[in-house]
Amino acid sequence: MIDLDAIRSNVGVLAAHAGAAQVMAVVKADAYGHGLVASAHAALAGGATWLGVAQATEALELRAAGITAPVLTWLYKPGEPLDALLVADVDVSVSSGAALLQVLDAVRATGRTARVHVKVDTGLGRSGVQPVELPALLDAAVAAQAEGALEVVGIWSHLAWADAPDHPTVLAQTGVFTDAVALAEQAGAHLEVRHLANAAATLTNPAMAFDLVRPGLAVYGLSPVPQLGGPERFGLVPAMRLEADLVLTKVVPAGHGVSYGHEYVTPAETVLGVVPLGYADGVPRHASGLGGRPGAPVQVGGRRLAVAGRVCMDQFVVDLGPGAAEAAGDVVVLFGTGADGEPTAEDWAAACGTISYEIVTRLGVRVPREYRGAPELLAAAGVGGGERG
Ligand SMILES: *Cc1c(COP(=O)(O)O)cnc(C)c1O
């Protein structure tokens, strides 16, 4: 279940942190598993004025859904034609001279003027032009701008340690970024937006908002800095609740091995429940209960229980306890807001040795996304209710 009202209100929280800066809601990876188009509409309703995605297909899907807000996309392959992006009025990131040529190919093919955000590697060590190569890239981009081929509308970068706000690299990257912005302005770029902050920086470091912030995880109500506080600390509400109906319950005797490899053995006669979600659905195999250690937490009938034994491809097992009254059809909650004592995505991340980003984004296509929220958000998402189509 995806709560679109939560997404809308989370974006409002982020906008308040951003002050005068605009909010680009990052909706890549199917909006972190929450559903691209429905989440994008809810984010825009919450005050986002931009949308950010990693891949061209994601940007084009937003446009196909009738979304006209500015969209930036930043990851494309060498040789991948960018024509459709320009025709759809999608802004593109440029991290290298080769990428600039790729954009210019699309300009020639379409007759459009490209809107380009030059990405600078201020220290993450991933995408972006090295600062030493920035002047040459800016020269080439501004020359193309003079010919009307493109507009350099943005300078941007990404942080390595935003989730550790006091880490020295945060300040260092901000310094390199400020220099890059100054260089672009001197070169004659027509900058509309300078942007550096992801969700963690948006929530912890208002000085890094510049003109635009790019939060992802917090849009969906999860804390990007769990060591500093959970969602409630920032007024965020987790939007995703993952639950399933038990497909089978049955009594087994003491000493009964459970699931592949019998990593769990029943300590007494008990009731087992079978949950129809497995690693093919995005339930991590690391959620297994192994060698006597309980697996990731679940909630059944108000009780906090755990995955028993190995998570399989399509299912896992929970020991419901001796005499448990549950029957097939009863609900098992894997994670939700936590407000009713259920586990959270953060609890699952901790149990699996990963981050909540991975828990929500990895949910598979077999898990239906059902939406709730204000009628106008459901209608905009094309999932029922409301008047607007
Ligand atoms: C994914 C991503 C974001 C959003 O990151 P969060 O940590 O989820 O806020 C922002 N910018 C870039 C370049 C990204 O790849």
Q: Cα(372) to centroid of ligand 1, in Å?
A: 25
Tokens of 332: 């098992």
Q: Is 313 annotated as a binding residue?
A: yes
Amino acid identity of residue 50, one-letter, is W
Three-state SS at 272: strand
355 located within any domain: yes
- In testing the pocket of ligand 1, which one of 23, 27, 51, 158 has its CB within 8 Å of the most ligand atoms? 158
pLDDT at position 268: 98
Indicate if 139 and 278 belong to the same structural domain. no
Residue of minimum CA distance from atom 15 in ligand 1: 54
CA of 294 to the centre of ligand 1 (A): 33
**191-212 mean pLDDT:** 97
CATH code at 91?
A: 3.20.20.10
* 87 plus 205 within the same structural domain: yes
> Is residue 304 included in any domain, yes or no?
yes
Number of domains in the chain: 2
Whether this model's pTM surpasses 0.75: yes
Q: Which pLDDT band, with edges at 50, 70 and 90, does 292 fall under?
A: confident
Structure-token pair, residue 333: 């909650």
pLDDT, position 318? 98
pLDDT band at 388 (very low <50, low <70, confident <90, very high): very low
Q: Report if residue 234 sits inside a domain.
A: no
The predicted structure's pLDDT at residue 381: 85
Q: How far apart are CA 389 and CA 369, in angstroms?
A: 19
- The pLDDT of residue 389 is 29
- At residue 385 the predicted structure's pLDDT band, cuts being 50, 70 and 90, is very low
In-domain check, residue 229: no
Of 330, 25, 93, 383, the C-alpha closest to 320 is: 330
Does one domain contain both 215 and 264?
A: no
Tell me if 385 is assigned to some domain.
no
Same domain, 211 and 263: no
Query: Could you tell me if the CB of 128 is within 6 A of ligand 1?
Result: no
* Domain contains 136: yes
Residues 131 and 198 in one domain: yes
For residues 202-231, give the mean pLDDT.
97
Share of the chain above pLDDT 90, in %: 97
Task: Note the pLDDT tens digit of each residue in 227-263.
Answer: 999 999 999 999 999 999 999 999 999 999 999 999 9
Ligand 1 atom nearest 158 alpha carbon: 13
180 and 48 within one domain:
yes
Overall average pLDDT of the 214-227 stretch: 98
Distances in whole angstroms, Cα of residue 184 to Cα of each of 101, 113, 114, 139, 152: 19, 19, 17, 9, 9
198 and 101 in a common domain:
yes
Q: Would you say 310 is a known binding-site residue?
A: no
Q: Among the atoms of ligand 1, which is closest to the Cα of residue 127?
A: 13
Do 190 and 71 lie in one domain? The reply is yes
Q: How far is CA 304 from CA 85, 146, 222, 265, 356, in A?
A: 48, 64, 21, 19, 19
Taking Cα atoms as reference points, which of 116, 282, 97, 93 lies closest to residue 192? 116
| End position of a domain, from candidates 189, 220, 251 | 220
Q: What is the pLDDT of residues 334-376, one digit of tens each?
A: 999 999 999 999 999 999 999 999 999 999 999 999 999 999 9
How remote is the CA of residue 27 from the centroid of ligand 1, in Å? 9
In whole angstroms, give the CA distance from residue 82 to residue 359.
31
Residues spanned by the domain of 312: 242-372
> Are 314 and 337 contacting, i.e. CB atoms less than 8 angstroms apart?
no
Query: Looking at the structure, do residues 106 and 191 belong to the same domain, yes or no?
Result: yes
**Quick check: is 75 in a domain?**
yes
The pLDDT, as a whole number, for residue 150 is 98
Pairing mode of beta strands 248-252, 270-275: antiparallel
Residues 213 and 254 in one domain: no
Spatial contact of 91 and 154, defined as CB atoms under 8 Å apart: yes
Q: Are residues 66 and 156 in the same domain?
A: yes
Is 214 a pocket residue for ligand 1 (Cβ < 6 Å)? Answer: yes
pLDDT in tens, 119-157: 999 999 999 999 999 999 999 999 999 999 999 999 999
Would you place residue 291 in the very low, low, confident or very high pLDDT band (cuts 50, 70, 90)?
confident
Residue 173 Cα distances to 102, 162, 206, angstroms: 28, 10, 15
Which amino acid is it at 321?
G
pLDDT (tens digit per residue) in 58-80? 999 999 999 999 999 999 999 99
And the tokens for 104? 């210019």
**Domain membership flag for residue 24:** yes
Assess whether the C-beta atom of 154 lies below 6 angstroms from ligand 1: no
The runs of H, that is alpha helices, within 247-292 are none
Q: Do 347 and 309 share a structural domain?
A: yes
- Is 28 tagged catalytic? yes
What CATH number is associated with residue 250? 2.40.37.10
How many angstroms does the Cα of residue 42 sit away from the middle of ligand 1? 18
**pLDDT at residue 383 tops 80:** no
Average pLDDT over residues 19-27: 98
